[in-house]
Amino acid sequence: MNKLFTSIFIILSLSFCTLFAKDSYGISVNGGRGSTVDIARLGIQKDFESVVYSNETFNIKGFHELGLNYWNGNRKNISAVSYSPVFVIDFNKYTTQGYKPYVDFGIGIAFLSDTLIDDKNMSSSFQFEDRISLGITKDNIDMYIRYMHYSNGGIKKPNGGIDMGLIGFNYRF
C-alpha cells in the first residue's frame, strides 16, 4: 500500500509541476512529532493566481499544496497523500532587512494508507488536515513552526485524531 501512495504522489507531483511550470511553485520539507508518532512531510506548492487582499500593513495570498506524509509510530508506520489550499498573511509593515514574518492556515484532506497507528484509531482513511504556521521569509526561502491536526471530523467513530508540532522550510522557484 505504501508503494501505491508513493507512486500516486510522484505521478501527481510531476503532473503538478509540468502543468504549472510557468507559474510560481515551490517545495516544502517539514517534520515533527505528535503523541508517539513522528511525521515527515514533503510538499509541492503552486501559488494562487493572484493576491486575495492587500494593503500597506499586510497581504493575504495563498498556495495549493500536494503532500506526501510518512508517519513513523513506535509499533507501526503509515503513509498519506494530502491536498490543502493554504492562506498566507504576509506582514509587509514589519519587514526588516528583507525578512518578513507571516502566518499561514489551511484546511485540506488526506488519505491514509492505514487507519491504525500505535494507540490511535483514525477510523477512516479519509482525514481532514488542519494547519496553522508562524514563519519568517526572505527572498524565496522561508522557515516556520507549524501545528497540524488530522481527524475525520466525526464522519466515522471513533474519531481518534492526532495533533502534531512540526518545523520546516519552503523554497520557491
Confidence band, pLDDT 50/70/90 cuts, at residue 12: low
- What does the pLDDT read at residue 160? 81
More confident residue, 163 or 9: 163
Average pLDDT over residues 72-93: 94
- Structural domain spans, the chain: 2-172
Is 163 among the catalytic positions? yes
- What does the pLDDT read at residue 32? 97
Confidence band, pLDDT 50/70/90 cuts, at residue 137: very high
Is 50 among the catalytic positions? no
Set 28, 113, 133, 151: catalytic member: 151
- What does the pLDDT read at residue 11? 57
SS3 12: helix
How large a percentage of the chain has pLDDT more than 70?
A: 87
Average pLDDT over residues 56-73: 95
Average pLDDT over residues 40-52: 95
**Eight-class DSSP state of 139:** T
CATH class entry, domain 2-172: mainly beta
Average pLDDT over residues 157-166: 92
Q: Which of 41, 53, 59, 49 is nearest to 102 (CA)?
A: 59
**Interatomic CA distance for residues 20 and 14, integer angstroms:** 10
More confident residue, 24 or 3: 24
Helix, strand, coil shares, percent, the chain, to 5: 10, 60, 25
Confidence band, pLDDT 50/70/90 cuts, at residue 1: low
Q: What kind and span of H or E run contains 14?
A: helix 2-19
| Reported pTM | 0.85
